[in-house]
Amino acid sequence: MSGLFSKTAKAVGRNGLSYRLLSYILVCSTVLALIITALQLAWDYRKDVAVIEDSIGQIEASFLQPIAASLWNLDEEQVKVQIEGIMNLPNMQFVMVKEMLGNSEVPLLTQGVERESYDISREFNLTYQGEIVGKLFVAASLEQIYQRLIEKSVLIMVSQTIKTLVVSFCILIIIYYLVVRHINRIANYAQKFNLDRLDMELELEGRPQPRQKMDELDTLVSTLNQMRTRLRDELVARHQAVEQLQQERDFSATLINSANMIICCMEPNLTIASINPAAILLTGYHQQELLQHNWLDLFVSPNKRAEITDILSADGSLSDKEVIMHDQQEHELVLQWTFVPFYDGPNLKYQIGFGYDITQLKKVEREIIQLNEQLEGKVVERTRSLSEANNQLGKAYDDLKQAQQTLVESEKMASLGSLVAGVAHEINTPIGISVTASSYLQERVADFKSHIDSKQLSRSYLTEFTVNLDESMQLLQSNLRRASELIASFKQVAVDQSSEARYNFSLADNLHQVVVSLGHKLKKSQCEVDIQCDPKLSTFSFPGSFTQIYSNLILNSINHGFDNWDKPKKITIKVEQQGEDLLIDYSDNGRGIPPEILPRIFDPFVTSKRGQGGSGLGTHIIYNLVVQLLRGRINCISEPGNGAQFHIRLPIQHN
């Protein structure tokens, strides 16, 4: 403990802050102690005075009547006892009983010390049965109260002084160990801080960093350490920058000295201040001799100096200016000069000149010009030959395009011919049945006439005849109706495929007409067609293009997808509207498209039956109709053995 006091005393002695803190603590503690003591004494004084007042009130309530009765009965002994009882009350100084004799007051008994004045006094009338028989005078002294307050104040002051000293010293010790010693350490660290000790980190005794709960000292230490780190990093960066600058300076000097172009630094009047060794090799002068010359005298021929001076006076610099000069052997050289001005504030300090010897380049340039003049004639002649070849290629390309168009039209006509053959085969069956029915009717009519002529008609014969006639007529009408529907469908499909008319039509009816017209081929290949289309769905477009798209897709499935296919054959055509688009989803369950053909499925002349009747234009026609005419998109998905699927998206329009 003595060591602790000695350390604190030394710290207070040499540290003005600690001395001021102790002084402030003592002054504030003393003032507060005096205020509190005064308040406490005032409180005690008022409390003691209140006790005296209570005693006087008790006298009025408890002693007046008994004393008045004793005085009426002339019992002095009892009055004396009662007065002694009053004197036994706290702080009572003097009691006197007066007797009324007529109109005068005569002292009867007294008790205590009589004085001229008293701190507190009261006089009461002694009344017995409504008549004043005497008076009671009581007086109290505050001396005992004052004595107690003085003793108590002395005790409080002594205790407060001791407490203040102890508390102040404890607070000083706490402040010293929590604040002052750390501030002293920070001050010593700052005094010893220099650029050579940037790696020394500031740490406070008993306060390891980092801490979970940081106070102001921790923040100050952290800030100082961060400042130290930033200074160290900036010094390292500056040192590196200086080294890099030195390296760049050395590198630049090496480049300048080893450059094969002339690099010179000139005063504003073009006097050379420094120049690289390339000028020595070019001019033949020593470097010191070069430094004594004007740039115009060394690198500009006399007849060009006035022109260069005018350019410098007007523009202040040169940019890729070709300047002719003569060396010491009077050889003519051509240098390309560029001047870069270097300013010191608003004033021109130097002109940095870069001169490149282009004498050989100019010579090569002249040779190239001569060579170009020689080649120009050959180029003209070769261009004429190429133009003739291009004309021939253009003509061949036009012939090829015309042949391709002819093949496309042939494919359309072949498709229409195939359609005609299918419809003819379909019509053949109902027409044949109709012919047979009409022949049967003709025979029955002839037999009926013979029965009429022979007068052998009977009811049973007529009944049988009418029944046979009705059945034959129904059979004839149904087959003729079927033939008429086939012809109507063929006419519509044929007209649509051969016409480019555009009108509003039902998509479901258009698709059903194509399926009906290809019914013969579908039956022959035992292929089922599933149509999923809303009968109310219509569009304003080219029905012939839709017919040709459906026809080519179905024929491709029959001829390619179901060729040598012994599994069930089914074609699904789904037509629906999605927003403003018309979606046509065509799929079959055939053999699919070979992988090597699928990427080129819409190219012309691509077919899996080359040499077997396939032209390779079917899907190409479909693509042209969808993309160019109908402004839509089409893509194909297929896996070998899993059929083929065509997705067509077209913009739907209404008239």
The per-residue pLDDT for 493 is 45
CA atoms within 13 A on the CB side of 58: 13
382: confidence class by pLDDT, cuts 50, 70, 90: low
Look at residue 576 and give its three-state secondary structure: strand
Higher-confidence position of 259 and 487: 259
460: confidence class by pLDDT, cuts 50, 70, 90: confident
| Per-residue pLDDT tens digits for 520-531 | 888 888 999 999
Q: Using an 8 Å Cβ cutoff, are 307 and 297 in contact? A: no
Average pLDDT of the residues in 163-180 = 80
Arch. (CATH architecture) of 499-651: 2-Layer Sandwich (3.30)
Count each helix (H run) and each strand (E run) in the chain, helices first: 17, 16
**Residues with Cβ within 8 Å of residue 71, at least 6 apart in sequence:** 79, 97, 99, 108, 126, 128, 133, 134
383: confidence class by pLDDT, cuts 50, 70, 90: low
459: confidence class by pLDDT, cuts 50, 70, 90: confident
| Euclidean distance between CA atoms 410 and 400, whole angstroms | 15
CB atoms within 10 A of CB 568: 10
For the chain, what is the radius of gyration of the CA atoms? Answer: 67
Q: Is 399 exposed, middle or buried (0-12, 13-18, 19+ CB in 10 A)?
A: exposed
First to last CA, the chain: 110
The per-residue pLDDT for 451 is 73
Rounded to two decimals, the pTM is 0.33
CB atoms within 10 A of CB 651: 13
The per-residue pLDDT for 613 is 46
Is 259-357 a CATH 3.30.70.260 domain? no
| Euclidean distance between CA atoms 588 and 609, whole angstroms | 19
Spans of all domains in the chain: 7-168, 214-254, 259-357, 366-486, 499-651
Higher-confidence position of 441 and 424: 441
Nearest to 537 by CA among 566, 568, 512, 506: 506
Nearest to 204 by CA among 219, 226, 182: 182
pLDDT at residue 161 tops 50? yes
| Per-residue pLDDT tens digits for 465-475 | 777 777 767 76
Most confident of 75-84, 246-255, 317-326, 588-597: 588-597
Interstrand relation of 581-588 and 538-541 (parallel, antiparallel or unpaired) = unpaired
Helices (H), 259-358: 278-283, 287-291, 295-299, 305-315
Average pLDDT of the residues in 371-387 = 69
